[in-house]
């Protein structure tokens, strides 16, 4: 062991130690042993155990400002806000370099890239060898979820990136309280991260679900490097959830309060960069606001749901902050997000204005410097990277719910699935029961976005918006979802929405944003038995009179398109869904296949006139 307390640390911390605090040491042997083992492998110059204190983050921020990792933004307009410019080749999640390594390949499934665990450890450890020479190794104990919630789970991320430490401090409950919980529980997810040399050829994000272990090297970007988020809370989390009987999902959680003061909670799954953050903090249209409708934000990205004693699904947001997409966020689209990021925020890969304010496409004003630090020139493309992000504490959100910290979570009334579907899929429909809802989720498709490296705008299947995040075989995952349909459960109703339907002119037909509340109102009224619907082979659709469209400027043709069920198109869709599901072979639950066949048969039997609804 070449490290000791005496080694000079490049960080002027008062608390820099190589072991967990003494009083915890006996319980924390496994953690200490692992930290020692990682230190022997990666050979850092110093080790720092993060306590999550103000003094710690102040020292770290000062160090990052001094070395250029963080650039201070205009303190008058954006107090304590910082710009980080990533390596230009490291700006998004990389799915082809993301592996799930289960001993049996079939357990990872065709939905994941796989490698034999022993081979992957050997390959990764060779890359980690000596990678922290000259650097400080940070040990970050964190808790995903409210610190006292039985649904929460802890992890420890070891990283050589101070930027990761600063982000993890915002995104998780990080530091001493998490270490105390780990001491009590004795279990934690191990995440080892190094930015390595940032060479995409030596970049890997690798999961060992059976070992509750993550190894990530070669990237400093959000989902690749903040290991509490997608790696732990979704990939490892979904694996744990399957074993333990709960659900770890890529869903926002929002509370909708009606004028009578009743709050219903909705969990909604959309792929990355499809508006989860906007929906989670939407501002009601004027008429609704005046009538007394309110929206409460619990989470914008991840939802852990567990059956309560009452048979309902109770949900927590395992995160403590938002890692939101900046471009497109504005006073028009999401005023709450704008208020949230007005202070104490880290901006990654945004542009800046002449007076050093953060800037991205969709905001007023002019950029002078682009996300790479070059003088802005439209010939170089957008000023902010399309996947530029803000990292900010959820507590700063004006609509942050006091129930977001509730240990038992909030009860979910409805689950909503949605994607970017420019054609075919109507504005909203309801699944007729849980099994149909699981099919609706499994059949989800969406156009790809800038949140992942690769082509944008390509339609792909993204079941439950979990394609990049499900840590095991999707066939088993669908079976797990179906298993909740059992005696004693009071399951939420399941819906599908599509805010992204386009007209012949290529423009979106539905205004979206705040007006999405009109659809959520119908969803809640369906859950409480107050709203009507019309049965169609694909599910239950609102009739025109079931939706409150007052004050909306939508012509009749647009409305007809938003509510149409094109039988021919849907027959083709069901066939494609069947082919897709067949890809899961024997792991595909028979019940899901039957459900697909039931809908296909219903479509086959109908003629178009009979299923043209709501026109
Ligand atoms: O990069 S993250 O995975 O954290 C964000 C996203 O793509 O949803
Ligand atoms: Mn996400």
Residue nearest to atom 8 of ligand 1 (CA): 272
Q: Sorting pLDDT into bands at 50, 70 and 90, what band is 615? A: very low
pLDDT, tens only, 503-535: 999 999 999 999 999 999 999 999 999 999 999
At 273 the pLDDT is 86
Q: How is residue 283 annotated by DSSP?
A: P
CA of 465 to the centre of ligand 2 (A): 9
Catalytic residue positions?
Answer: 274
Domain 321-393 in CATH 2.170.8.10:
yes
**What tokens were used for 228?**
């509490």
Of all residues in the chain, what percent carry a pLDDT higher than 70? 94
Tokens of 435: 């099994």
Residue bearing the bigger pLDDT, 7 or 282? 282
390 C-alpha to ligand 1 centroid (Å): 11
Query: Which residues face 428 on adjacent strands?
Result: 497
Mean pLDDT calculated for residue range 45-50: 98
Residue with CA at minimum distance from ligand 1 atom 5: 223
The answer on pLDDT for 605 being more than 80 is no
- Phi/psi-derived region of residue 512, left when phi > 0, alpha when psi is between -120 and 50, beta in every other case: left
Return the ligand 1 atom nearest residue 271 CA. Answer: 8
Q: Model confidence at 22, in pLDDT bands (50, 70, 90)?
A: low
317 dihedral zone (left: phi>0; alpha: psi -120 to 50; beta): beta
Cβ(533)–Cβ(542) below 8 Å: yes
In the DSSP assignment, the letter for residue 417 is E
User: Exposed (0-12), middle (13-18) or buried (19+): which is 526, by Cβ within 10 Å?
Assistant: buried
Closest CA to 9 of 197, 67, 17: 17
* Tens of pLDDT, residues 55-70: 999 999 999 999 999 9
Displacement of CA 166 from its chain's centroid (Å): 19
Tell me which residue of 449, 445, 450 sits closest to 460, measured CA to CA: 445
Atom of ligand 1 nearest to the CA of 250: 8
- Taking alpha carbons only, the member of 101, 210, 189 closest to residue 140 is 189
Q: What's the 432 CA to ligand 2 centre distance in angstroms?
A: 27
Substitution site in 451, 454, 462, 464 for ligand 1 pocket (most atoms within 8 Å of beta carbon): 451
- Ligand index nearest the alpha carbon of residue 323: 1
Q: How far is it, in rounded angstroms, from Cα 123 to Cα 127?
A: 7
Residue 29 has a pLDDT of 87
Q: How many residues does this entry show for the chain?
A: 615
Report the separation in Å between the CA atom of 329 and the middle of ligand 2, taken as the mean of its atom positions: 16
Pairing of strands 445-447, 459-461: antiparallel
Question: What distance in Å separates the CA atoms of residue 206 and residue 615, rounded to the nearest whole number?
Answer: 50
CA distance 151 to 132: 34
Tell me the mean pLDDT in the region 273-277: 92
Helix (H, G, I), strand (E, B) or coil at 178: helix
Q: Which residue's CA is the closest to the ligand 1 atom numbered 1?
A: 223
Tokens representing residue 94 in the block: 């990389």
Residue 149 pLDDT more than 90?
yes
pLDDT tens column, 455-505:
998 889 999 999 999 999 999 999 999 999 999 999 999 999 999 999 999
Which pLDDT score, from 0 to 100, does residue 23 have?
58
CATH of domain 249-320+402-605: 3.90.228.20
Instruction: Check: CB of residue 393 under 8 Å from CB of residue 170.
Output: yes
Using alpha carbons, list the distances in angstroms from residue 541 to 239, 358, 426, 519. 34, 42, 9, 11
Residue 378: how many CA atoms within 13 Å on its side-chain side? Answer: 2
Pocket perturbation via mutation, ligand 1, pick of 230, 269, 278 by most ligand atoms within 8 A of CB: 230
Distance between CA atoms of residues 160 and 126, nearest Å: 17
CATH of domain 22-69+90-245: 3.40.449.10
Q: Which two tokens stand for residue 365?
A: 């004003």
Mean pLDDT of 344-370: 98
- Whether the predicted pLDDT of 5 surpasses 50: no
In 3D space, the residue among 78, 38, 308, 48 whose CA is nearest the CA of residue 192 turns out to be 38
CA of 604 to the centre of ligand 2 (A): 36
Q: Whose CA is nearest to atom 4 of ligand 1?
A: 223
pLDDT at position 28 is 78
Closest ligand to C-alpha of residue 465 is 2
Nearest CA to ligand 1 atom 2: 223
- pTM score of the predicted model: 0.94
Average pLDDT of the segment spanning 27-52: 94
Q: How confident is the model at residue 3 (pLDDT cuts 50, 70, 90)?
A: very low
Q: What is the dihedral of CA 88, 89, 93, 94, to 10 degrees?
A: 170
Count the helices and strands in the chain (H runs, E runs).
18, 28
Residue 25: per-residue pLDDT: 56
Q: Pick the atom of ligand 1 nearest to 451's CA.
A: 7
Residues with CB under 6 A from ligand 1: 93, 222-223, 229-230, 272, 323, 451
Atom number, ligand 1, closest to the C-alpha of residue 452: 7
How many angstroms is it from 250 CA to the middle of ligand 2?
A: 6
Residue 390: what pLDDT?
98
pLDDT band at 2 (very low <50, low <70, confident <90, very high): very low
Question: Cβ distance 367 to 359 under 8 Å?
Answer: yes
Share of the chain above pLDDT 90, in %: 91
Residue ranges of domains in the chain: 22-69+90-245, 249-320+402-605, 321-393
- Taking only the tens place, the pLDDT of each residue in 107-138 is 999 999 999 999 999 999 999 999 999 999 99
Residue 297 has pLDDT above 50, yes or no: yes
* Average pLDDT over all residues of the chain: 94
**pLDDT confidence band for 544 (50 / 70 / 90):** confident
């Amino acid at each position: 062991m070449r490290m000791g307390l005496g080694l000079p640390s490049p960080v002027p911390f008062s608390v820099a130690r190589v072991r967990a605090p003494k009083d915890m040491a006996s319980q924390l042997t496994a953690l200490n042993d692992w930290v020692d083992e990682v230190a022997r492998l990666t050979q850092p110059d110093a080790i720092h155990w993060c306590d999550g204190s103000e003094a710690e983050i102040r020292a770290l921020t000062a160090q990052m400002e001094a070395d250029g990792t963080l650039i201070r933004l205009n303190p008058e307009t954006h107090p304590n806000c910082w710009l980080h410019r990533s390596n230009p080749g490291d700006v998004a999640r990389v799915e082809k370099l993301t592996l799930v390594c289960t001993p049996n390949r079939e357990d990872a499934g065709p939905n994941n890239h796989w490698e034999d665990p022993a081979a992957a450890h050997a390959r990764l450890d060779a890359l980690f060898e000596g990678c922290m020479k000259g650097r400080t190794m940070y040990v970050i104990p964190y808790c995903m979820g409210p610190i006292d919630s039985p649904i929460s789970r802890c992890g420890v991320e070891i990283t050589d990136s101070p930027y990761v430490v600063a982000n993890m401090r915002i995104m998780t409950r990080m530091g001493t309280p998490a270490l105390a919980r780990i001491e009590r529980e004795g279990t934690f997810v191990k995440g080892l991260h190094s930015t390595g040399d940032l060479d995409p050829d030596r970049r890997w994000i690798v999961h060992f679900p059976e070992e509750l272990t993550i190894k990530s090297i070669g990237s400093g970007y959000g989902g690749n490097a903040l290991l509490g988020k997608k790696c732990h809370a979704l990939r490892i989390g979904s694996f744990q959830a399957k074993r333990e009987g709960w659900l770890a999902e890529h869903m926002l959680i929002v509370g909708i309060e009606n004028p009578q003061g009743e709050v219903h909670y909705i969990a909604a799954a959309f792929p990355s960069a499809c508006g989860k953050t906007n929906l989670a903090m939407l501002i009601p249209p004027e008429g609704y606001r005046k009538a007394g409708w309110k929206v409460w934000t619990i989470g914008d990205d991840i939802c852990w749901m567990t059956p309560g004693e009452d048979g309902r699904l109770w949900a927590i947001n395992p995160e403590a902050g938002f890692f939101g997409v900046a471009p497109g966020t504005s006073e028009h689209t999401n005023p709450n997000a704008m208020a949230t990021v007005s202070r104490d925020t880290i901006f990654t890969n945004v542009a800046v204005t002449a007076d050093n304010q953060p800037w991205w496409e969709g905001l007023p004003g002019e950029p002078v410097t682009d996300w790479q630090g070059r003088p802005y020139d439209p010939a170089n493309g957008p000023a902010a990277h399309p996947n530029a992000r803000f990292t900010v504490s959820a507590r700063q959100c004006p609509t942050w719910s006091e129930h977001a910290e509730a240990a038992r979570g909030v009860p979910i009334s409805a689950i909503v699935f949605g994607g970017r579907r420019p054609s075919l899929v109507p504005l909203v429909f309801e699944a007729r029961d849980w099994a149909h809802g699981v099919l609706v989720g499994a059949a989800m498709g969406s156009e790809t976005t800038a949140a992942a490296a690769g082509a944008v705008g390509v339609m792909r299947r993204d079941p439950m918006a979990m394609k990049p995040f499900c840590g095991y075989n999707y066939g088993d995952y669908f079976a797990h979802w179906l298993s909740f349909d059992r005696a004693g459960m009071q399951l939420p109703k399941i819906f599908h929405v599509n805010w992204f339907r386009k007209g012949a002119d290529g423009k979106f037909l539905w205004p979206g944003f705040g007006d999405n509340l009109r659809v959520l109102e119908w969803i809640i009224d369906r859950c409480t038995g107050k709203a009507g619907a019309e049965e169609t082979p694909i599910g239950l659709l609102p009739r025109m009179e079931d939706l409150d469209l007052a004050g909306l400027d939508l012509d009749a043709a647009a409305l007809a398109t938003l509510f149409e069920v094109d039988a021919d198109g849907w027959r083709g869709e069901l066939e494609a869904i069947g082919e897709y599901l067949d890809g899961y072979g024997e792991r595909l639950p028979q019940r899901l296949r039957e459900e697909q066949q039931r809908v296909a048969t219903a479509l086959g039997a109908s003629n178009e006139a009979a299923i043209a609804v709501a026109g």
